[in-house]
Chains A and B, each alone.
Chain A
Amino acid sequence: GAVVSQHPSRVICKSGTSVKIECRSLDFQATTMFWYRQFPKKSLMLMATSNEGSKATYEQGVEKDKFLINHASLTLSTLTVTSAHPEDSSFYICSASHAGTSGSNEQFFGPGTRLTVL
């Protein structure tokens, strides 16, 4: 159980175009979804946290207008990279959590999306 999928797994786009990445919780309802960015050989950097039906909370330094996050349902969140540029090339990982009976709201991670902007 607790499977999170991401689509696409890999995307290459031209500079100036927009790219949408989907994150789905397949077998549970995710009250909260998280978007991370991972630079090569670096750790995960939290970009934003989103709750279903609410606006996302962005971390300091993350451009809200650049990285649009929509959490329209309890099983789907999308990240849209608008007007992508080569510096946006990165590995984007989402995770999802739900209220657990143990009190530990574990995050379940998706497999990641490799974005390359030419």
Chain B
Amino acid sequence: AQSVTQLGSHVSVSEGALVLLRCNYSSSVPPYLFWYVQYPNQGLQLLLKYTTGATLVKGINGFEAEFKKSETSFHLTKPSAHMSDAAEYFCAVSDWGGANNLFFGTGTRLTVIP
């Protein structure tokens, strides 16, 4: 079975500070991992994904995440937070080798303080 745990339902950072959103997964097979962002009353937008190959994945808007198999983690980072980064972030795992049957974490709301 696949599952995702996002530590911290709410994270606040100052503008310009490092953003770190944590995600740990559980999967019985090699996982495909995703980070999505959701702005209020909108659908989900893919930030980045890990399938195979390089474990450090770069996404849109300056975000990146590193797949660490030994730690079963896929934390999302951004060196410098911008006000426009304020949103809900979801980590998800899929075990199909295709993003069918995505299992989502409970989400982390990022607040950026000016």
Docked Cα-Cα span, A107 to B106, in Å, equals 18
Query: A102, B51: Cβ atoms under 8 Å?
Result: yes
**Which of B45, B97, B105, B109 is the one whose CB lies under 8 Å from A109?**
B45
Shortest CB-to-CB span from A58 to chain B, Å, is 13
| Min distance, Cβ B107 to any Cβ of chain A, angstroms | 5
Q: Which residues of A contact B100 (CB under 8 A)?
A: 32, 49, 97, 105, 107
Chain B, residue nearest A59 (CB): B101
CA distance A46 to B99 in the complex (A): 13
- Contact size class for A? 20 to 34
Q: Are A109 and B99 in contact (CB under 8 A)?
A: no
Would you list which residues of chain B between 20 and 58 have a CB under 8 Å from chain A?
32, 36, 41-46, 49, 51
Task: Indicate with 1 or 0, residue by residue over B80-114, a CB within 8 angstroms of chain A CB atoms.
Answer: 00000000001000001111111011110100000
Chain B residue nearest in CB terms to A5:
B43
Which residue of the partner chain B has the closest CB to A94? B43
Contacts of B98 in A (CB 8 A): 97, 99-100, 103-106
**Does B101 contact A106, Cβ atoms closer than 8 Å?**
no
B44 and A104 form a contact (CB under 8 A): no
Report the minimal beta-carbon distance from A96 to chain B, rounded to whole angstroms.
11
List residues of chain B with CB under 8 Å of any chain A CB. 32, 36, 41-46, 49, 51, 90, 96-102, 104-107, 109
Q: 3 tightest A-B contacts by CB? A: A105-B98, A109-B43, A109-B44
Enumerate 19 A-B pairs (CB-CB under 8 Å) in ascending A order.
A4-B43, A41-B109, A43-B90, A43-B104, A43-B105, A49-B100, A93-B43, A97-B99, A97-B100, A99-B98, A100-B98, A104-B49, A105-B96, A105-B98, A105-B100, A107-B99, A109-B43, A112-B42, A114-B41
